[in-house]
Amino acid sequence: MNLHLGPSRQAAVNELFRRMLFLPPQSSTMASDLDHLHYFVISTTMAGATMVGLLALYWVFKYRARGEVTARSEPAPTSPPWFEWLLGAGLLGLFCLWWLIGYMQYVRLRVPPANSLDVYVTAKQWMWKFAYPDGQSSVASLYVPTGRPIRVLLTSRDVIHSFFVPDFRIKQDALPGRYTVAWFEVSQPGTHQVLCAEFCGSGHSIMRGQVVALDPADYARWLAAGSGEQVVGGLGEQPEPPLAQVGGPSLPGPATVEPASEEEFPRAQMVNLVRVGTQAAAQQGCLRCHTLDGTPHIGPTWAGMYLSRVPLATGETVVADEAYLTESMMDPTAKIHAGYAPVMPSYHGLLAAPETAAIVELIKSLRDVPGRTEPPAEPNPRAPAAPAGAIGRAYQPEPVLPLQQVTPPKPSPPAEQQGLPPPGLQPNPLPAGSIHITGPDGRRHTVPSAVPVPEATP
Amino acid sequence: MSAPAEVLSESQEEPDYLAVESGIWSWLNTRDHKRIGVMFLAAVTGMFLLGGVFALAVRTELLTPNRTIMDATTYDRMFTLHGVTMVWLFLVPSIPTSFGNFLLPLQLGARDLAFPKLNLMSFYTFVLGALITFGGMLAGGTDTGWTFYAPYADSTPTDVVPVIIGIFILGMSSIFSGINFIATTHLMRARGLRWRNMPLFVWTIYGTSVIMVLATPVLAMALALVGLDHALQLGIFDPAVGGDPVLFQHIFWFYSHPAVYIMILPGMGVISEVVTTFAHRRLSSYVAVAVSTLGIAFVGFLTWGHHMFVSGMSTFDAGVFGIMSMFVAIFSAIKVFTWTGTLYRGQIVVRTPLIYFFGFLFLFVFGGMTGVALATQSLDVHWTDTYFVVAHFHFIMVGGSVTAFLAAAHYWFPKMFGRLYNERFGMLAATAVFIGFVLTFFPQFLLGNMGMPRRYYAYPPRFQFLHVLSTGGAWLLAGAVLLALGNLLVALRWGRRSPANPWHSRGFEWLTPSPPPKHNFAATPVLDFSPYDYSMTEEEARERAASR
């Protein structure tokens, strides 16, 4: 709508409608398109209701009974039949037009662009946690670079929540046990409120957060500063330790793991639980004893495990279905795999429900990986680490973050140490588009916008 | 099945149903559909007032961004109480069990419903369900909202089980009444009364009953599962043990979306009766209203997914549910055009029920059109679970159903009690209801646009202005409703005696005296003409019904 107006007039009309309808600022790239449909639909709605109401009032006035009501022959039909059909068809056409535009926009809202930056969002009663692919994490504040599509992968650790950013016109439920996806792109630096939109208990209304959109350069500096700085959205809640530390720093295994790059997992699979499962299995230390490629280790390999017949220490066999796999995580000594020592601790209470589901999904995905053979005759706790297989490679204990050097290595400004960089208010010490990152391979990368996750060379 | 109504000789004067017996027991043990209808009317009106009190508590709490009069848990219980009371104890049973019960046999020319004992049982089942629901609410209360979304309902620290059992029992009452109405419509029509001449109120009660009988078992199933999940930790909706958290929403809305039409269809029937009576002319298209009633009842079953566009459903599903919702809207639009067209070239007498008709027309059109807006998927993403949705369904439920309920209460008051209410107070109250309503719920559309999520105890201060406006409107609305009901209550005792047909309607129910005798018609009438035929005089219609 308003296509015939000049750009400035159009902007002025847009602003007028936006303020009349009390809509929040249009801070995402999709917001203004959605609002234009909103203006169209709501204006028609208001006009339709008012017209029907006024017509009824006019007729009541015009045809009010004067004196005694009399019996009389039926008045002429209100309108010719073709008029009724035209009205009905026109209205249906209008509704279908709204549906068509709305549906196309909905598909745009639901399908993230290919070059998105991923952020994992975990909702729990009553806070938001944001985990970045390179191991950063934050509570309540989601830092994103401007000018780049951000794909949020949402899950919940308890009940259903809903990730709602009014300024972006997006909302997506966060469900326990599965991942859902939403995306947005911010063009200007700024802060935008995150609200929970699905009732989740007594803290529902204070389950708030914020999206802090940073200049790409500021974002890169925030990334480099490490995950130690968390911003708690003024709710008086204590931040929980970031996800990366859940495994506990004392474990020798990798506390965090870099998610597999897109080449290893085709795009179609990225949203599924397998990827979550790989991350959880690495974080929880599962992969210190179990391998993914068939190599015997402290515990049985997961390759080819799903639905295979597992010989038990008691001499019976059991089919490794979801129930058995889950039981083996929560009560590992109940049914010991023949040939392995009962050394596994129970993960009951350590694995969150969605993580359990995700690990089961991971094991299911490995069903056709060859390599599951008879268990070794004796427990072999000193078996060498798995060779770098296609999947196993990502889990080798490596230094946590490849961001080792950022040039120039200036200290962060004080405001940023408090976790609240006032974006756009400070002169930017780094010229945008010239961040140099040295990866572990020694190559230098120039990253115009953020997400510096250089490939680890084997 | 009762035997065919025996023909009473016309000389036999039967006392009216109110006077024929007296004493509490004669009411509690009655099988007369009229007395049961009056008892239901008293019960659901009581529930409406209780639900209104809870609504005022919620609105008052929302005057300030933080605590005003209660803490968060109490607030959560209060909006749950409001929702449960209004939906299951008022809106679902309201018009069918009270006015439907009273008028269905009268409009069909029958002596009673097909199963009078089942009818009484339905009333006591309703009372039992209401007692258990409120007992559970008083004992522990639940904070899930009327939707009982799993897995929150599985793990809530409050006690949902008694409330669920109460609603389960209320559902049985719905099914009993639904079966009774369907059987009566099929089997008890007077001689000569063809389906194409049935009063439109009967059509809508019939459509509503079909939905009740088909959909309520699904609700019972959903609630039973979530109750078992909560009590025994079965994990049906818990993903940790392989359950599906979204499944509940599918089952729940499979009932609860058609339930929206359970709540609004009878109101549409009332409006059809009111507009023809006060315009004194035939409905501009009888067929359009009857067919669209059945259309809504059918397509209403295929739209439930539009409540779940952000739950992670596939874009294909969302597209299908979106277009289906548009079709339901078309049926409603056909009705609106028919009612408006009925005013054209009528002989319109403005009385209180007609004022409610105007309120209904504007509020229902606006509420319905915002429903179309909400079914537009990309817009729904911003609006769902915000006050926009709250405003939308209150426009339909309060602006539509409650307005129609008040219209029915005024329109049929002389029929039920043989007295006339004060028109001046009635019209004043009807206008005040409209203004109070708009003031309460219009700001909520804007709140939704701003992004205010529903079920928020505390809210960012930028929302406060509109919340205060809305709360003020709620108090005005409450006052207006009390004025309307008080006016009727006064008339019950002190109102002028009403003639048999004070509105000069041609509706079949007005062929008998007001209030009707115990067995409705002195002789079984012959109804081989239209109840909207204003080319006959009243006397001609009477004579024709009495001929055989």
Classify A209 in phi/psi space as left (phi over 0), alpha (psi -120 to 50) or beta. Answer: beta
| B539: contact with A, CB 8 A cutoff | no
Q: What is the dihedral of CA A252, A255, A259, A261, to 10 degrees?
A: -50
Which DSSP letter does residue A284 get? Answer: T
Helices B423-450 & B403-411 angle (0-180, nearest 10): 170
| Residue in B409, B373, B407 with CA at minimum distance from that of residue B268 | B407
Tell me the percentage of chain A whose pLDDT exceeds 70.
67
Task: Give the integer Cα–Cα distance in Å for B178 and B214.
Answer: 10
User: Quick one: closest CA in B to A169, which residue?
Assistant: B382
Is residue B375's pLDDT more than 50? yes
User: Quick one: closest CA in A to B339, which residue?
Assistant: A56
| CB contact (8 A) between residue A59 and residue B344 | yes
Confidence of residue A386 (pLDDT cuts 50, 70, 90): very low
Q: Beta strands A170-174 and A161-165: pairing type?
A: antiparallel
| B365: contact with A, CB 8 A cutoff | yes
The tokens describing A377, both together, are: 């005759």
> Which of chain A's residues have a Cβ under 8 Å away from the Cβ of B238?
176, 353
Q: What is the mean pLDDT of chain A?
A: 71
| CB contact (8 A) between residue A357 and residue B239 | yes
Å between B335 CA and nearest CA of chain A: 11
Give the largest Cα separation in chain A, rounded.
Answer: 107
Tens-place pLDDT, residues B465-505: 999 999 999 999 999 999 999 999 999 999 999 998 999 99
| Residue in A409, A57, A397 with CA at minimum distance from that of residue A221 | A409
Partnered with residue B16 across adjacent β-strands are: B517
- Sequence-distant (6+) residues with CB within 8 A of B14 are B8, B20, B517, B518, B519, B522
Task: Give the integer Cα–Cα distance in Å for A426 and B91.
Answer: 58
| CB contact (8 A) between residue B282 and residue A74 | yes
| A238: contact with B, CB 8 A cutoff | no
CB distance A299 to A341 below 8 Å: no
The tokens describing B113, both together, are: 């419903």
- Sequence-distant (6+) residues with CB within 8 A of A214 are A143, A144, A145, A146, A189, A222, A421, A423
| A268: contact with B, CB 8 A cutoff | no
| CB contact (8 A) between residue A205 and residue B456 | yes
CB distance A454 to A402 below 8 Å: yes
Q: What is the mean pLDDT of chain B?
A: 90
| A172: contact with B, CB 8 A cutoff | yes
Give the largest Cα separation in chain B, rounded.
Answer: 75
Residues 314-353, chain B, touching A (beta carbon < 8 A): 315, 318-319, 322-323, 326, 329-330, 333-334, 336-337, 340-350
Task: Give the integer Cα–Cα distance in Å for B167 and B148.
Answer: 12
Is residue A422's pLDDT more than 50? no
Task: Give the integer Cα–Cα distance in Å for B89 and B73.
Answer: 23
> Which of chain B's residues have a Cβ under 8 Å away from the Cβ of A176?
151, 238-240, 245
> How much is the pLDDT for B12?
53
pTM: 0.76
CA distances from B165 to B88, B145, B149, B162, B318 (A): 12, 16, 16, 5, 33
Give the nearest partner residue to B326 out of A63, A95, A101, using CB atoms. A95
Confidence of residue B381 (pLDDT cuts 50, 70, 90): very high
> Which of chain B's residues have a Cβ under 8 Å away from the Cβ of A170?
381-382
| CB contact (8 A) between residue A48 and residue B349 | no
- Where do the H-state alpha helices sit in B300-398? 315-343, 352-375, 377-383, 387-394
A183 half-sphere exposure, CB direction, 13 A CA radius = 22
* CB neighbours of residue B191 within 10 Å: 12
Give the nearest partner residue to A173 out of B311, B342, B535, using CB atoms. B311
Residues 311-330, chain A, touching B (beta carbon < 8 A): 322, 326
Is residue A392's pLDDT more than 60? no
Task: Give the integer Cα–Cα distance in Å for B365 and A404.
Answer: 63
| A54: contact with B, CB 8 A cutoff | no
> Which of chain B's residues have a Cβ under 8 Å away from the Cβ of A326?
241
Helices and strands, counts by H and E, chain B: 20, 2
User: Quick one: closest CA in B to A354, which residue?
Assistant: B240
* CB neighbours of residue A287 within 10 Å: 25
Residues 214-243, chain B, touching A (beta carbon < 8 A): 238-242
| Residue in A145, A143, A185, A140 with CA at minimum distance from that of residue A167 | A185
Tens-place pLDDT, residues A51-72: 888 999 999 999 888 877 777 7
- Sequence-distant (6+) residues with CB within 8 A of B378 are A34, A37, A101, A102, A103, A104, A105, A106, A108, A109
Task: Give the integer Cα–Cα distance in Å for B493 and B496.
Answer: 9
Å between B530 CA and nearest CA of chain A: 12
| CB contact (8 A) between residue A63 and residue B354 | no
Q: Beta strands A150-156 and A180-184: pairing type?
A: antiparallel
Task: Give the integer Cα–Cα distance in Å for B109 and B544.
Answer: 13
Residue for token pair 């504040």: A141
Å between A10 CA and nearest CA of chain B: 21
| A37: contact with B, CB 8 A cutoff | yes
Best A62, A198, A271, A359 member to test B by mutation, with max B CBs in 10 Å, is A198
Tens-place pLDDT, residues A284-321: 778 878 888 887 777 888 888 888 888 888 888 888 88
- Where do the H-state alpha helices sit in A272-368? 273-283, 322-330, 353-365
> How much is the pLDDT for B480?
96
Task: Give the integer Cα–Cα distance in Å for A121 and A127.
Answer: 10
Å between A35 CA and nearest CA of chain B: 8
- Sequence-distant (6+) residues with CB within 8 A of A375 are A296, A300, A311, A337, A338, A339, A340
Q: What is the dihedral of CA A153, A158, A160, A166, to 10 degrees?
A: -60
Mean pLDDT is highest, among A177-181, B8-12, B430-434, for: B430-434
| CB contact (8 A) between residue A45 and residue B370 | yes
| Residue in B485, B352, B349 with CA at minimum distance from that of residue B428 | B352
Is residue B171's pLDDT more than 90? yes
Ranking A267-276, B86-95, B173-182, B386-395 by mean pLDDT, the lowest is: A267-276
> How much is the pLDDT for B379?
93
Task: Give the integer Cα–Cα distance in Å for B177 and B179.
Answer: 6
The CA-to-CA distance between both ends of chain A, in Å, stands at: 54
| CB contact (8 A) between residue A72 and residue B309 | no
Residues 401-460, chain B, touching A (beta carbon < 8 A): 446-447, 449-451, 453-460
| CB contact (8 A) between residue A175 and residue B311 | yes
Q: Beta strands A117-124 and A127-131: pairing type?
A: antiparallel
| CB contact (8 A) between residue A160 and residue B337 | no
| Residue in A289, A313, A246, A311 with CA at minimum distance from that of residue A382 | A289
Residues 393-432, chain A, touching B (beta carbon < 8 A): none
- Sequence-distant (6+) residues with CB within 8 A of B19 are none
| CB contact (8 A) between residue A69 and residue B280 | yes
Chain A / chain B CB contacts < 8 angstroms: 268
Residue for token pair 């391979």: A441
Strand arrangement, sheet containing A170-174:
A141-145, A209-214, A190-196, A161-165, A170-174
Is residue B405's pLDDT more than 50? yes
| CB contact (8 A) between residue B241 and residue A204 | no
Is residue A407's pLDDT more than 70? no
Ranking A31-45, A150-164, A218-232, B115-129 by mean pLDDT, the lowest is: A218-232
Radius of gyration of chain A (CA): 29
- Where do the H-state alpha helices sit in B148-199? 152-155, 161-187
Task: Give the integer Cα–Cα distance in Å for A8 and A371.
Answer: 66
> How much is the pLDDT for A430?
34
> How much is the pLDDT for B95?
94
